[in-house]
A and B are shown apart, each in its own frame.
Chain A
Amino acid sequence: GQQVMQIPQYQHVQEGEDFTTYCNSSTTLSNIQWYKQRPGGHPVFLIQLVKSGEVKKQKRLTFQFGEAKKNSSLHITATQTTDVGTYFCAGPVGAGGTSYGKLTFGQGTILTVHP
């Protein structure tokens, strides 16, 4: 079935270093969403990107949606210990292509920040 692939699976950084996670879909996405899950917590919605080539910023976080609307990235500048967690991308895809009712999540990138 259609999948949303995410790399890397793990990322260990020193506090102050930058971090990027990448998300790819085999099918064009109508939108891409990003979620953060703190250790022991639940996924929390961060942002949605809809337009081709869109770039959105939230403080030190920069989100991009590719021109073909098949890939996306999340970049964190100067990581802090509060950034620790798993970052998931999610897109509306299903076994037959675009799904209007559900999100399929990527595998997530586990970010560890060493102080």
Chain B
Amino acid sequence: EPEVTQTPSHQVTQMGQEVILRCVPISNHLYFYWYRQILGQKVEFLVSFYNNEISEKSEIFDDQFSVERPDGSNFTLKIRSTKLEDSAMYFCASSEGGAGYGYTFGSGTRLTVV
């Protein structure tokens, strides 16, 4: 069964450093997402990406965050200057056709900001 692949599985970074989280969505999917989940809490939407541009973003997704699909397969989330409160599990997901289709999630990157 096709999978969404995320790397790294765990990233520890110092406050103020930049991090890049990487994802390889399912190849025939058209919509890509980043969600985050702070330990034991709900799955929070960050950003959706379609047709090489951001289609929606949440209040969390401020100027410190950016996304790219640099080469047609990878989908990256960059946090420019990490804060302690950015510590969370970050999930990438993809779907065939937006919110009318089931999402396939990757196994996540646990980001720890110290």
Query: Measuring CB to CB, which residues of chain A are less than 8 angstroms from any residue of chain B?
Result: 30-31, 33, 35, 37, 41-45, 48, 88, 90, 92, 94, 99-108
- Chain B binding surface SS class: strand
Residues of B23-44 contacting chain A, CB below 8 A: 31, 33, 35, 41-44
Complex contact A103–B103 (CB within 8 A): yes
User: In the complex, A80 Cα to B85 Cα: how many Å?
Assistant: 36
Listed A/B pairs (22) with beta-carbon separation below 8 Å: A31-B99, A31-B100, A42-B106, A43-B43, A44-B105, A45-B102, A45-B103, A48-B102, A88-B43, A92-B100, A94-B56, A99-B56, A100-B99, A101-B31, A101-B55, A102-B45, A102-B56, A102-B98, A102-B99, A104-B45, A105-B35, A108-B43
Smallest distance from the beta carbon of A36 to chain B beta carbons, Å? 11
Give which listed residue, B48, B55, B91, B99, contacts A42 with CB less than 8 A. B91
- Find chain A residues with CB under 8 A from B107 CB: 41-42
User: In the complex, A53 Cα to B77 Cα: how many Å?
Assistant: 39
**CB nearest to A91 among chain B residues:** B99
- Find chain B residues with CB under 8 A from A43 CB: 43, 91, 103, 105
Number of contacts between A and B (CB, 8 Å)? 64
Q: Given A44-B105, A45-B103, A92-B99, A102–B91 Cβ distance below 8 Å?
A: no
Complex contact A101–B42 (CB within 8 A): no
Interface centre among B42, B43, B105 (most CB of A within 10 A): B43
Indicate whether B104 reaches chain A with its CB closer than 8 angstroms: yes
**CB nearest to A50 among chain B residues:** B100
Q: Given A42-B107, A42-B108, A101–B102 Cβ distance below 8 Å?
A: no
Complex contact B99–A101 (CB within 8 A): yes
User: In the complex, A88 Cα to B42 Cα: how many Å?
Assistant: 9
Residues of B64-114 contacting chain A, CB below 8 A: 91, 98-108
